[in-house]
Amino acid sequence: MKLLNHSYVLLIVVIIIGFSCTPKTKKARVILGDDTLTTGTIHISVDETFAPIIDSQIKVFMSQHPKATIVPHYKPEAECIKDLLNDSIRMVIITRGLTEEEIPFYKDTLSFVPMYGRLATDAVALVTHNNCKDSLFSVAEIRSMLNGTTGYKYDLVMDGLKATSTVRFLMDSILKGQPMNGKVMAAQNSQGVIDYVAKHPNALGFIGVSWIGNKEDSTQLTFQKKVKIAALQCSNCGEEVYVRPYQANMALKRYPLNRGIYYVLKENFAGLGKGFVNFLTHEKGQLIFRRGYLVPDRMALQIRKANVSE
């Protein structure tokens, strides 16, 4: 009888130890909000490069859904990525999706993998002073200016004081990891690049294409007149052709400095973030991207011949 009691006690101890060793399910850091697909308030972080186009998207979305408020915070891309761990930020809009290394990290940290996807195609445009004689460049010439091995005497102006998506793109796609040893300076933001280049004939600026669109042009074939848009050597033409970042050249991959615009949504319920993503990926949102000089990735883009006087 005593042996039975000892066994019984031992069984209870084993069960208690077993429960204590069972790993607890991690709770998501994202707390369910009181917002829905079309109502409520959320904060998002956006790469400053996309400020003009995302401002337009938010304005139209909120006009259609008066009970919805989306508050954008425009920052360098690196700061936006850090905000994925900020509980107050529901969504980020940047130039890339999540990497294979980031997916397990966010799954472990948030207990779920954020949704992400490509929305449109953007391009890095080169802007010069209106009186600048040089307006045709090859990628090799841009590379030599960035690494300081060129005879060009330009001040290269970037679109931010910190690590921006434009700088990362140039480092990855043009310099292939080599150091940026050219005469490089930083403006406060993209508008600062335009303003600086407009006043300095020896400046060459790098900005997102949505910043240079002429809003008064219904055909989307002319750019604002404050600066001159440089043409780059076509990346897949059979002859030496120089092209500017028109939508057709971006869509056909003729312009060599294309990049994507992506959303990363840190939301595991049907909230306002998903409502905004639905808007961005469907017809109205895609049409706004088209009107903003970007190439929509979720709808067909018709390409027609047109005469442009530049």
Residues 95 and 170 in one domain: no
More confident residue, 137 or 20: 137
Burial label for 283, CB within 10 Å (0-12, 13-18, 19+), is: exposed
The helix-helix angle for 272-281 and 283-291 (nearest 10°) equals 60
How long is the chain? 310
Residues 128 and 232 in one domain: yes
pLDDT digits (tens, 9 = 90+) for 102-138: 999 999 999 999 999 999 999 999 999 999 988 999 9
Decide if 214 contacts 224 (C-beta within 8 A).
yes
Domain assignment of residue 219, yes or no:
yes
Give the rounded percent of residues in the chain with a pLDDT score beyond 70. Answer: 83
pLDDT at residue 8 is higher than 50? no
Residue 250: which domain range? Answer: 123-258
pLDDT at residue 27 is higher than 70? no
Residue the block writes with tokens 């910043």: 211
pLDDT of residue 256: 95
pLDDT at residue 267 is higher than 60? yes
Residues 161 and 229 in one domain: yes
Residues 137 and 250 in one domain: yes
Residues 137 and 166 in one domain: yes
pLDDT digits (tens, 9 = 90+) for 195-211: 999 999 999 999 999 89
